[in-house]
Amino acid sequence: MSLQPTTTVARIAGYVGETVTLAGWVYHKTGKGKLVFLLLRDGSGTIQCVIFKKQVSEATFALAQQLGQEAACRVTGSVRADERAPGGFELDVHELELVGPSVEYPISPKEHGVEFLMEHRHLWVRSARQHALLRVRAEVIAAAQEWLNEQGFIRFDSPILTATAAEGTSNLFATDYFDLGKAYLAQTGQLYVEAGMMAFGKVYCFGPTFRAEKSKTRRHLTEFWMIEPEVAFADHEDNLVLQEQFVSAIVQRVLERRAADLDVLERDTTVLKRCVPPFPRISYDDALALINAHQGEVEGATPVPWGEDFGAPHEQLIASQFDRPVFVERYPSAIKAFYMEPDPARPEVALCADLLAPEGYGEIIGGSQRIHDPELLERRINEHGLDVADYRWYLDLRRYGTVPHSGFGMGIERAVAWITGTRHIRETIPFPRMLYRIYP
């Protein structure tokens, strides 16, 4: 006999008045004399199952009374619409079958400390809030890839093990690679995606990236996922337009398809609904002036000398002045990666931009026009103290059919944190890797 249920909670609306079988886990249970109420979750949603003593066998009612939290079971009953019930539907139970053992579950409805929950992350992901966060994450990933596919992009997977670093080796994880010396866990797929761009015109990669910075902030992970599009015959302006269309499409799709999850998270969606192009744009110089004018409004957002990068408080202050994501463009070339194209009208700044999310979430996208002149690129590699020999293949992309091109990278976890309104990035990935966390 098949173990597959008749339907899922997500599709229960199509079965009102019919008898169905659901398979899932007991999320919560209450009892009132001759009634037992089971809140059953099956991964697609939750539904209240009502077990009335007169309508089931003695054995079935006794089993219902004994079921513990997270007991796996199959429930058969008739579907009834009820506006008062969670999700608007209830199941009047006829039969109940225990599939997995009913034992005491470690994560009870009481409050638990963060350390305890992180130690039990493999179980914590079943809770309503974590479930909602990870469903939004899945929607963001699907929306990002599907939108790019619809725009004619080709997915072009980049390696995780690399022989060189994209931006220096100071914050990379190194490993011995057989007899060939050191290899590094990739901090970006961008350089390799540029090779794909020269083959296909519009490409993107999507996968895990790694940063060995010893940071403990709530915005930092040592392993995170990034989606990185790259476009041939595209300048800095084209790049900004692509980014705002991309982000807006993702946010609007989450609002449309994951509204119930945002409700679980108690997310105020007002700011998300404003996430439509065009996004405001300010220069690095304008951002310095803005910080000077509003210093003291955000703790730690003190004036920044020209030529230094912004910290989290500065990004928070800048974004607080706008009602939707804002581009900060044309940063000093000296504080940016070697591959960024200088502004022809002002070579000391690069044709680059960071997209800052509202509400203090900081940078969710970094992008730039790339240097397409081989001589300039080689000079920049030398200026950054990198070995030109390691980048022969990358220089080849400029020697054979070079074109102006641009791209960007969006960190999935940063974007999900902002969209969901969660304050800790550790909750936006199934198993976060942080400075002092690699278990489970």
Give me the tens of pLDDT residue by residue for the chain, a chain 440 residues long: 567 889 999 999 999 999 999 999 999 999 988 999 999 999 999 999 999 999 999 999 999 999 999 999 999 999 999 988 888 999 999 999 999 887 899 998 788 999 999 999 999 999 999 999 999 999 999 999 999 999 999 999 999 999 876 665 568 899 999 999 989 999 999 999 999 999 999 999 999 999 988 888 878 899 999 999 999 999 999 999 999 999 999 999 999 999 999 999 999 999 999 999 999 999 999 999 999 999 889 999 999 999 999 999 999 999 999 999 999 999 999 999 999 999 999 999 999 999 999 999 999 999 999 999 999 999 999 999 999 999 999 999 999 999 999 999 999 999 999 999 999 999 999 999 999 999 99
Task: State the pLDDT at residue 220.
Answer: 87
Strand 202-210: give its sheet, edge to edge. 154-155, 202-210, 223-232, 405-411, 362-370, 352-357, 326-329, 281-283
Sort 318 into a burial class: Cβ within 10 Å, 0-12 / 13-18 / 19+. Answer: buried
Condensed to tens digits (0 to 9), the pLDDT of residues 212-259 reads 888 888 788 999 999 999 999 999 999 999 999 999 999 999 999 999
Q: What is the pLDDT of residues 85-102, one digit of tens each?
A: 888 999 999 999 999 887
What is the pTM for the complete model shown?
0.95
Asked if residues 195 and 172 have their Cβ atoms less than 8 Å apart, the reply is: no
Length of the chain: 440
* 168-194: b (≥16 Cβ within 10 Å) or e: eeeebeeeeeeeeeebbbbbbbbbbbb
Judge whether 48 and 56 are in contact, CB under 8 Å: no
Q: How many CA atoms lie within 13 A of 58 on its CB side?
A: 0
365 dihedral zone (left: phi>0; alpha: psi -120 to 50; beta): beta
Q: What CA–CA distance (Å, rounded) separates 277 from 254? A: 16
Prior bond of 278 cis (ω within 30°): yes
Residues 6+ apart with CB under 8 A from 345: none
Residue 37, pLDDT score: 96
**Residue 197: Cβ-neighbour burial (10 angstroms; 0-12, 13-18, 19+):** buried
Q: What is the pLDDT of residue 269?
A: 97
Instruction: Measure the CA–CA gap between 241 and 239, rounded to whole angstroms.
Output: 5
Confidence (pLDDT) at 245? 98
Return the structure tokens found at 8: 């899922």
Short-list 184, 159, 171, CA closest to 211:
171
What does each C-alpha distance from 167 to 171, 211, 385, 414 come to in angstroms?
9, 11, 11, 20
Q: How far apart are CA 78 and CA 65, in angstroms?
A: 20
In angstroms, the CA 293 to CA 73 distance is 61
pLDDT given for residue 84 in this prediction: 86
311/253 Cα distance (integer angstroms): 31
Separation CA 130–CA 124 (nearest Å): 7
φ and ψ of 129, to 5 deg? -70, -45
The pLDDT score that the predictor gives to residue 111 is 85
Look at residues 131, 109, 137, 107 and name the one whose alpha carbon lies nearest to residue 119: 107
**Do residues 359 and 418 touch, judged by C-beta distance below 8 A?**
yes
